[in-house]
Chain A
Amino acid sequence: MLGDSIHRPLSPLEVKLEANRCLNCYDAPCTHACPTHIDVPGFIGKIATGNLKGSARTILDANPLGASCARVCPTEQLCEGACVYNAAGDSPIRIGDLQRYAVDYAMDNDLALFEPGAPTGKHVAIVGGGPAGLSAARDLRRLGHAVTIFEAKDELGGLNTYGIVPFRLDLDTALWEAAQVIRLGVNVRTGTRVGVDVMAEELLGRYDALIVACGMGSVPTLNIPGEDLDGVWDALDLIERAKLGHELGDLGSRVAVIGAGNTAIDALTCSKRILPDARVTCYYRRGESQMSAYTFEYEFAKQEGIEFRFFCAPTRIVGANGRVSAIEFVRTSADATPIAGSEFTAAADTVVRAIGQGRLLGTLERLGVAHDGGVVRVDASLETTRPGIFAAGDCIFSKGSREAMVVEAAEQGKIAARSADAYVSGSHG
Chain B
Amino acid sequence: MADLSSNLAGIKSPNPFWLASAPPTNSGYQVMRAFEAGWGGAVWKTLGTPIVNVTSRFAGLNYKQNRMVAMNNIELITDRPLEDNLREIAECKRAFPDRAIVVSLMEICDQHAWHELVKRVQEVDIDGFELNFGCPHGMNERGMGSAVGQHADLIAQVSEWAKEAARVPVIVKLTPNITDIRWAARAASQGGADAISLINTINSIIGVDLQSWNPIPHVDGKTSHGGYCGPAVKPIALNMVNDCARDPEVRIPISGIGGVETWQDAVEFLLLGAMNVQVCTAVMHHGFRIADDLVDGLSNYLDGRGLRSVSEIVGAAQDRITTWENLNLNYKIVARIDQNTCIRCNKCYIACEDAAHQCIDRVAQNGSAMLVVDEERCVGCNLCQMVCPVENCIDMVQIDTGLPPESWKERQQHQSS
Spell out A's residues near B (CB within 8 Å).
16-17, 20-21, 23-29, 48, 84-85, 87-88
Contact = CB atoms under 8 A, between A and B. Distances in A.
B115 interface: no
Interface stretch (B19-27, B233-241, B338-346): B338-346
B343 A88 contact: yes
A88 B368 CA distance: 16
B344 A23 contact: no
27 contacts: A16-B65, A20-B65, A23-B345, A23-B389, A25-B344, A25-B345, A25-B346, A25-B347, A26-B345, A26-B346, A26-B347, A26-B349, A26-B350, A27-B346, A27-B349, A27-B350, A27-B369, A28-B345, A28-B346, A29-B344, A29-B368, A48-B64, A84-B345, A85-B343, A87-B343, A87-B344, A88-B389
Interface in B268-287: none
Given A20-B64, A26-B350, A48-B64, A88 B390 contact: yes
A68 to B, nearest CB: 29
Considering the complex of A and B, which 8 residue pairs feature the smallest CB-CB distances, nearest first? A26-B350, A26-B346, A20-B64, A87-B343, A84-B343, A25-B345, A20-B65, A84-B345
A404 to B, nearest CB: 24
Nearest to B344: A84
A203 to B, nearest CB: 42
B147 to A, nearest CB: 39
A27 B368 CA distance: 11
Contacts of B389: 23, 88
Contacts of A16: 65
A24 to B, nearest CB: 7
Contacts of A20: 64-65
A23 B347 contact: yes
A85 B389 CA distance: 10
Interface in B62-109: 64-65
Contacts of B349: 26-27
Contacts of A25: 344-347
Interface string B369-413: 100000000000000000001100000000000000000000000
Majority-rule SS of A interface residues = helix
Given A23-B345, A84-B343, 18 more contacts: A20-B64, A20-B65, A21-B65, A23-B347, A24-B347, A25-B347, A27-B346, A27-B349, A27-B350, A27-B369, A28-B346, A29-B344, A29-B368, A48-B64, A84-B344, A84-B345, A87-B343, A88-B343
A48 B63 CA distance: 11
Contacts of B350: 26-27
Contacts of A87: 343-344
A84 B64 CA distance: 20
A25 B343 CA distance: 10
Nearest to A85: B343
Contacts of B344: 25, 29, 84, 87
Contacts of A48: 64
Nearest to B387: A23
B129 to A, nearest CB: 44
Contacts of B369: 27
A205 B87 CA distance: 99
A23 B343 CA distance: 11
A176 to B, nearest CB: 28
B121 to A, nearest CB: 46
A28 B344 CA distance: 9
A48 B390 CA distance: 22
A85 B344 CA distance: 10
A84 B390 CA distance: 11
B64 to A, nearest CB: 4
Contacts of A28: 345-346
A20 B67 CA distance: 13
Contacts of A27: 346, 349-350, 369
Nearest to A16: B65
Nearest to A32: B368
A84 B344 CA distance: 7
Interface in B315-363: 343-347, 349-350
Residue among A16, A20, A24, A25 with max Cβ neighbours from chain B (10 Å): A25
A84 B348 CA distance: 14
A25 B349 CA distance: 10
A10 to B, nearest CB: 13
Contacts of A17: 65
A88 B350 CA distance: 20
A413 to B, nearest CB: 27
A17 B62 CA distance: 13
B42 to A, nearest CB: 35
Contacts of A29: 344, 368
A301 B314 CA distance: 64
B62 to A, nearest CB: 10
Nearest to B389: A23
Contacts of B65: 16-17, 20-21
A117 B122 CA distance: 81
Nearest to A29: B344
Contacts of B343: 84-85, 87-88
Contacts of A21: 65
B348 to A, nearest CB: 9
B343 to A, nearest CB: 4
A87 B345 CA distance: 10
Nearest to A41: B345
A27 B369 CA distance: 10
